[in-house]
Structure formats: structure tokens, C-alpha cells
Amino acid sequence: METTKLPPSSPSSPTTGFLVPSAEKVDGFPRRSMRRARQRRSHSSSQFRYQSSQVELTPLPLLKDAPVAELHDLFCKKLQQCCVMFDFLDCVADLKGKEIKRAALNELVESVATSRGVLIEPLYPEAIKMISVNIFRTLPPSENPEFDPEEDEPTLEASWPHLQLVYEFFLRFLESLDFQPSMAKRYVDQKFVLQLLELFDSEDPREREYLKTILHRVYGKLLGLRAYIRKQINNIFLRFIYETEHFNGVAELLEILGSIINGFALPLKSEHKQFLVRVLIPLHTARSLSIFHAQLAYCVVQFMEKDATVTEYIIRGLLKYWPKTCTQKEVMFLGEIEEILDVIEPSQFIRIQEPLFKQIAACISSPHFQVAERALYFWNNEYILSLIEENCRVILPLVFATLYRVSKEHWNQTIVSLIYNVLKTFMEMNSKLFDDLTASYKVEKQKELKRERERTELWRGLEEHQERRMQMLTDAARNQRNLQERDKMSSSTCHTVLLNTGVHMPLLGLGTDKLVSPDIVHQAVDAALAAGYRAFDSATVYQNESALGQALKKLLPKYGLTREDVFITSKLGPKDQGERAKEAALRSLAQLDLSYIDLYLIHWPGTQNRSVSDQRNSGNRAQSWATLEELHAQGTLKAIGVSNYTPAHMRELMQSCKVPPALLQVEFHPQLCQDELRSVCKEYGVCFQAYSSLGRGELLHGPVVLEVAKNCGRSPAQVLLRWAVQQGVPVLPKSSNPDRIRENAEIFDFSISDSDMDRLSALECSHRYCWDPSQVV
């Protein structure tokens, strides 16, 4: 026979009292217009059920003042009165009716909790009807599909001032000494329980807390519903795992299950074991595991304490679903494994020690220090340490190589110290085995180094052979490529600007700022090449040079292109100004995996961690430029230039440089026309290039831009880009969306009228959306 009890941490009731402040004194129903970001939001899931316009409530006599003969009839009338629903989205509507219902509910709660003989058989259907009318409703869809319980405030139920009292009444009803399960089971049936379980998806944590306690009371008092409740919870979890991956009440249902499992009779039924293997273990795959992991681990450990034979199913199941990329989940899994090992039987430990410690060894070698640290903490647990000592001859060979290697290579000194302690412990357990494994590891290491040298020599020979072969084909391939180039280039890449180095640079390039993930960079480059882009703009501070280089290496052959068909720009970061400029430029070259960079710019006239008024900024700029000139002379940088320079910076550079800059890249759009700077560039023969042509998206919604876009039959983004290129200014729109990348390339098959060009230029107001270099000395 099953018995149930709540876990020690579970409260017996969500509340300590049952009186709620008057609705006239506390405004519990704030208007939606008054909400602010990250404040608790309210909704009403019963907004289409209220009946206050049809029924006007009038106060009834108090229960405590009613004659005994009329008490039950008055109690029934108050239950019926509480079936009237109100619209809580309107905080000033039906205040009198809301207050009457609130007072009636408070009376009912107090009466059930403190009086004997109130619950007679005729009141059961009326009580259950009142509860059903108030709590059962269709829950609204989430207002925030990407809701994160750890970061965002939950959406609260607007009708909670009444709903809380209904739940409190239900709880006191179930806990009353007068409660008769034989009477209640006629009304609290399977349909009622199913509707009750559906409410666990409420976003309001207060409601879920009440539901948790109430469902546990139902499970404990109505024995005939136990199997049905377990079955429906099973169905909710299966739907959560394999279909929706969304259900707000998983943690609460697991907490109930923890107490149910504690009461399972032995031996465990097949039904219970299947629930463990098919439901509880797969629950570990949920992306939202952190929300309910503590309750889930408690349930798993309860199963083990009930029946040790399920240990192997649990461990192998966890190893099957072990996280591959999420370190947060990996730390949680390790914590759960330790809880399991705390109660494992030695005979069961022997059955799972080999696969388990292979996984622990993999965790120890993780570059994420929290994962490695959590795995090494197993050796601080006395019981686990005793199990390891008893099985040292099996476990030590599994983890020794990992421990030895990581102790020499791990970047975190805390991990290294913990590993030394573990190795010392193993040495004290079995010194002979430890010495044998040390000698064996060193021999294997030498063999591995020898194989590595042989592999390196083999690859070197293959590379030399390939270089000789490629050299024979280079001239013919270059001639053929030049003949096919015009056919391969799309209309957007036929438009170029001539730099002062004699090189033609495309007027349109893809900006890559904020594109960091290798997958996103690959997708963007793929879409850009398909749309005809042949110029790509990167920088050290973008942290995507490596991803861009790898993407181009993989994708150029797909479109029949080679390195010479694309124009690559990168930039020297502010932190590398001065003496570190050469190292930084060569690092960019290596990250991009290129033999040369088409254009390399000084990204910012200042130096990181140095005031804009620091006089040393000028010296750093000069030193950096001299380094770029040196690399330009060597052919490593085909062209050099600057970014975010002011007219004063440009004149300063032109007075001291040996090689004039080929290009200046600055913020440029209709609200920042940079007339003086363009005149300086024209004076010195420097190409003027624009970034942030869309004003970080703000300009797309301006009325003038929208009207010109309508006149041209194009999008606002296309109009803003065309405004620049129609003046001969190259542009670098950035996007990771393939459709927008393609749309941004379609700017060479239309033109803007002179009057509309003037209207756009008239938007000039010297407004910047990006860096302001004017203060840098």
C-alpha cells in the first residue's frame, strides 16, 4: 500500500492566514498602461467569463451571526454568490461587487477552517461548483514566448485577490476534520483532476504553489484517484519532453512526485520503474532543466533509496543524455551523480563504475574550470572516496592518463592543485599501481610524440608535392580566371572605385561587426557571395577574423572563386596602437588565414585605456602608421588607411607619412554628411568610405526616407545605401539575414532623383550613432 508525505522542505500550506486587505484600500489591479519593463505584469485569464453586468451582489448576513438552523442555507447562498465572476482588468469597475465577494470568500474560508459540522452532504456539490467556476479557465498564451524564469518577472494573475481566497477555501475544505472522501469523490472526479493539472501551466508562481499543496491533499485523501493522477502527470511530462518543451509547473509536479515516490510499496511495480526510465531520466534533456533540476534529482534519488536495483538504469540513462555543449547542465549532472553516489550500494557501484568514471575523466579534462572542478570535488566526499579506494585497481587506470595530462596542461591553477591532491590520494591508495601507470603513460607519450613527428613529416611531403603541382597550374588558371571574371561577377561587383594604389575596390562590401558565431559568419558570407558581394570588412575588435577566413576558404570554391576575386579589409584595434601594431597586423593575417590583406586600417585615432586628451595619442598614431608602411612595403598589406579620423587627424597624418592613406572609413549617412572631411579626402586623393549608412536602423523609419523610398519603389535601406553610392561613396551594410543581404545588393539598378537626393542631404544635423573621434587629440 502506498503512503504519501511531503518532502521536508515543502510547506503544508502556501499561506499562513486567510484574510486579505480590502480591495478599496489596496489597488491590486494596475492598469496595463502603467506597466514598465521588467516589472511584474498581470493578466486575466477569465476576462471573457465575468458576469457582474448581469448579476448585482448584495451583502448577506454574517455566518457567525446566523442562527444554527439557517447556517447551512446561508453558507450555500454565499457559495452561490461567490460564483459571480468579475473583470479584473478594469481596476475601477464593480468595486462594490468585488468587495462583497472578497468578504464572502473570507467568511467561507474562516468558517471551514474553524467551525465543526459545517460541511454537510448538500454543500459538497455547491462547494465544488464554486471552486470550479472560479479556478478552471483556459490559460492565455504567454505574452513573452522567450520567457526566462531566471531572468524575467512572471506574468501574475490579475484576479488573484479573489482566486487566492478560492484556493485557500479549497485547501481548508480538504483539510477540514469534517471532510468526507466518500462524499467528495462524487464531485472531485477524473475530469476535475485533469482540469486541476492543466492549471499547473499558469505563469503565476503563487497559483502553482497552492495547486501543488491542493493536489497533494487530493492524492492523499481520494485513494481512487491516485493511479489516474500519476498517469496524467506522466502524460504531461511526456508531452513536455517530446512535443512542447514548455510547461510552467514541472518543478511543482516533481515536488509532489517526490513525496509520492517516498510512499511506494516494495517491491516496486513495473509501472513505477517504467516511469523512472521513460519519463524522469529523459526529463534531463530539457533546455529548461535548471528550473526543476533540484526536484528531479530528489525524485531520482528517492527511487534509488527505495530499490537499489534501479541504480544501473539511472546511471546509464544519465550518461546517455550527458550534455555535450552546455557546461551549466554538465555541472548539474555532476551534482546529481554525487547525490546518487552518496546513497549507492557498493554492489551496485561495481556495476556502473567503468562507464561512470570514463565520463568523469572526460569532465576533468574539460577546459571549462567549473566542470573540471565539480568532477574533482568527488574526491572530497568521504563515502565516494571509500568506494574508489575499494575499486582502485579498476578506477585508477580509467582516470590516470587524464589526470596526469591535465595536471601539466590546464590553464587554471585551482584545477591543477586539485588534480595534484587527487594524484597524491591515488598514490597513497596503491603506490605500486600508481608507479606502473606513470611508467606506462610516459612510454605511451613517447610513442605518441613519435607518431606525431612522422605524421608531420608526411604532411610536409604532401604539401610540398601539392605546391609543385599547383605552381604548374597557376599561370593557366590565372589566365582562364581573368577571362571568366566578368561573367562570374554580379552587377553589384561591377561597380568599383579606384584607390590611389591603382587597385579597384568594390563600391559594396559586407560589414561583419557583431557577427561573432562561426555559423552566423558562414551563413552571412554564403549569402553575400551568392548575391554578388566581393568585399568583406572585418576588424580585430569584431573578434571574427578567424571565422571570416574559414568561411571564405570553404565557400570561395563553391562559387568558382579564388582569393584574388575578393577584397578583404581588417583593422588595427585601439589596444594595439603603437609598438604592438606589427604583432597585431600579423595576428590578423594569421587569423584570416591569408598571405596578404587587401586593405588594413587604423581603427581609431586614440589608444585603449588612455584618455582622449592624452598627448601620447599622436605619437602612437605615428608609430602605428610607420609599422603599416613597413608591412605595405613588404607586400603583406596591399593598401593601408585609417578609420574614424577627423580633418585634423588627416592633415597631421599627411604631413608625416611616407605612404599616403588609400582610404578613410567613417560614419556617413544623411544626418552626418561629413562635408569638410570629404573635402580633405578629395584634396589628398584619399577614398572616402561609409559605415553605419542606416544609422543603426534609426533612419529607416524617418518620414523623408520613407517618402523617397516610396517614390523609388524601393526599401528605405536600399534608398539610404543608394544615396551614398550615387555620390561615389563605398558602403558596408551589415546583416546576417540572407534576404536583407540580397536586398542590400540591389542598389545599382535604380537612381534617386536630384530633388530627392537634396531632400535626403537636407537631413544633415551632425548626429552620430557611433563613435565620436572629435575629442581625441
- What is the Cβ-side half-sphere exposure of residue 333, based on CA atoms within 13 angstroms? 29
Give the residue from 249, 257, 112 showing the smallest Cα distance to 171.
112
What own/partner pairs with CB < 8 Å and gap ≥ 24 does 321-327 have? Answer: 321/281, 321/282, 321/284, 321/285, 322/359, 327/366, 327/368, 327/370, 327/371
Question: Do 291 and 398 belong to one domain?
Answer: yes
Burial code (b: 16+ CB inside 10 Å, e: under 16) for 669-701 equals: bbbbbbeebbebbeebebbbbbbbbbbeeebbe
Per this entry, what is the length of the chain?
777
The pLDDT, as a whole number, for residue 1 is: 42
6 falls within a domain? no
The pLDDT, as a whole number, for residue 612 is: 76
Residue pair 719/729 in contact (Cβ under 8 Å)? The answer is: no
Question: Do 507 and 414 belong to one domain?
Answer: no
Question: Do 505 and 390 belong to one domain?
Answer: no
Question: Do 573 and 656 belong to one domain?
Answer: yes
Cβ of 146: how many Cβ atoms within 10 Å? Answer: 7
Active site residues: 542
Cβ of 370: how many Cβ atoms within 10 Å? Answer: 15
457-510 pLDDT tens trace: 999 999 988 888 788 777 666 656 655 554 444 444 458 999 999 999 999 999
Domain count, the chain: 2
The pLDDT, as a whole number, for residue 414 is: 94
Rounded Cα–Cα distance for residues 276 and 270 (Å)? 10
Rounded Cα–Cα distance for residues 577 and 619 (Å)? 10
Residue pair 730/689 in contact (Cβ under 8 Å)? The answer is: yes
In 132-177, the DSSP E strands lie at 155-157
Q: Which three cell numbers stand for residue 389?
A: 579506494
The pLDDT, as a whole number, for residue 531 is: 94
Domain final residue, candidates 396, 429, 462: 429
The pLDDT, as a whole number, for residue 16 is: 36
Question: Do 420 and 536 belong to one domain?
Answer: no
The pLDDT, as a whole number, for residue 39 is: 45
Residues of the chain with pLDDT under 70: 1-55, 143-151, 475-494
Instruction: For 84-121, give the DSSP string.
Output: ----SSSTTTTHHHHHHHHHHHHHHHHHHHH-SS---T
Rounded Cα–Cα distance for residues 584 and 590 (Å)? 10
Give the residue from 468, 511, 410 showing the smallest Cα distance to 745.
511
**Which DSSP symbol is given to 213?**
H
| 3 state SS of 517 | coil
The CA-atom distances, in angstroms, between 302 and each of 157, 297, 305 are: 34, 9, 5
390 falls within a domain? yes
The pLDDT, as a whole number, for residue 489 is: 45
Question: Do 504 and 387 belong to one domain?
Answer: no
Question: Do 383 and 505 belong to one domain?
Answer: no
Domain final residue, candidates 381, 410, 429: 429
Structural domain for 668, as ranges: 499-607+620-765
564 falls within a domain? yes
Question: Do 424 and 505 belong to one domain?
Answer: no
Domain final residue, candidates 397, 429, 461: 429
Q: What torsion do the CA atoms of 448, 451, 456, 461 make, to the nearest 10 degrees?
A: 180
128 falls within a domain? no
307 falls within a domain? yes
Q: How close are the terminal C-alpha atoms of the chain, in Å? A: 84
The pLDDT, as a whole number, for residue 31 is: 37
Rounded Cα–Cα distance for residues 460 and 361 (Å)? 34
The pLDDT, as a whole number, for residue 27 is: 40
- What is the Cβ-side half-sphere exposure of residue 613, based on CA atoms within 13 angstroms? 0
Rounded Cα–Cα distance for residues 250 and 365 (Å)? 33
228 falls within a domain? no
Q: Please, which residues have CB within 8 angstroms of residue 758's CB and are 6 or more apart in sequence? A: none
Question: Is residue 360 left, alpha or beta, with left meaning phi > 0 and alpha meaning psi from -120 to 50?
Answer: alpha
CATH number of the domain enclosing 597: 3.20.20.100
35 falls within a domain? no
690 falls within a domain? yes
CATH number of the domain enclosing 371: 1.25.10.10
Question: Do 410 and 522 belong to one domain?
Answer: no
β-sheet bridge partners, residue 641:
601
Task: Kindly give the interhelix angle for 382-390 and 327-343, rounded to the nearest 10 degrees.
Answer: 80
